[in-house]
Amino acid sequence: MPRIRCPNCGVSINLETRRELDYKMILSGMQKSSKTFTDLLKITGLPRKTLSMRLTALCDSGVIVKDGGYRLNGASHVENCGGKMDLPESQALAKPSFFTRRNVLVTLMLLVIAVPIAANVSAMLFTLPASPPSPAPPLYIGTFQMDINVEKTTDLFAWQVLIRFNSSELVFLEAVEGNFLKAHAIYDTVFLFANDTYPGELLVFDTLKGMDVRGVSGTGTLATLTFGYKLETYELPQKVYDGVFETFLWNSDLKDTEGTMTLEVKEG
């Protein structure tokens, strides 16, 4: 499976599931004292429905206790406050969701800032063990490239798209940033969140840096994807929206903007 490298430091990033990040934020907020539901809304920034669901799972598993507020149960714990939740299978979500529109920009910006710092500290304090051998590359008989294009957009600052494909016919190999944001922007772009954790699903995200940076208008290529095909008669990947994984175009105010996103197979 391809791995994403940070453009600033080159560190390889393994993306955690959203559910575990939610649990970590909630438990961290309770380290010093019990918290009300309103307190946890402010601390985590989660939607009310999501926070309520996470708190219910934590209470049912015995990790926290609800008695007027929410507090940690001293008899239960989660390793390193970021490990796998020790929940019964019936309470665990069958499929963790990706980042929501509200938090995806903040999470990625924190990764860009935090990963180089963490890498430098680890290099000074620890001698890391040798990396395990890379897995064998997936088998395929040929490759093709597909552009993610945008048409007639205005003030484009960030975008995200969910792509589905038949994993028995295709395998995702690589994502490369297009020239639309990079060529027209004054500042560098933060590229490229491309996650294919689940078979047949690829989530791609890109954004400009800075708080006072205006977006880009016009028509162009946002990214180029490379797929390997296992059969000569394969179906092309499709752009989708299903209410959990969101496809969007955002302006510099982090609101929906004009434009049409399309997928196009490159000739040659």
CATH classification code of 142-265 = 2.60.40.680
- Give tens-digit pLDDT for 133-186: 776 666 899 999 999 999 999 999 889 999 999 999 999 999 998 889 877 666
Domains of the chain by residue range = 4-14+102-125, 18-81, 142-265
User: Per-residue confidence at 119, pLDDT binned at 50, 70, 90?
Assistant: low
Note the pLDDT tens digit of each residue in 229-243: 999 999 999 988 765
The 10s digit of each residue's pLDDT in 17-75 is 577 778 888 888 888 888 898 888 888 888 888 888 889 988 888 888 888 788 888 74
SS3 labels along 36-97: CHHHHHHHHCCCHHHHHHHHHHHHHHCCEEECCCEEECCCCCCHHHCCCCCCCCCCCCCCCC
Query: In the chain, where do the E strands start and end?
Result: 4-5, 12-13, 64-66, 70-72, 142-164, 170-177, 189-195, 201-208, 216-229, 238-240, 248-251, 260-265
CATH number of 18-81: 1.10.10.10
Distance of CA 75 to the CA centre of its chain: 33
The CA distances from residue 112 to 33, 102, 132, in Å, are 31, 18, 25
Task: Examine residue 125 and say whether the peptide bond preceding it is cis (omega within 30 degrees of 0).
Answer: no
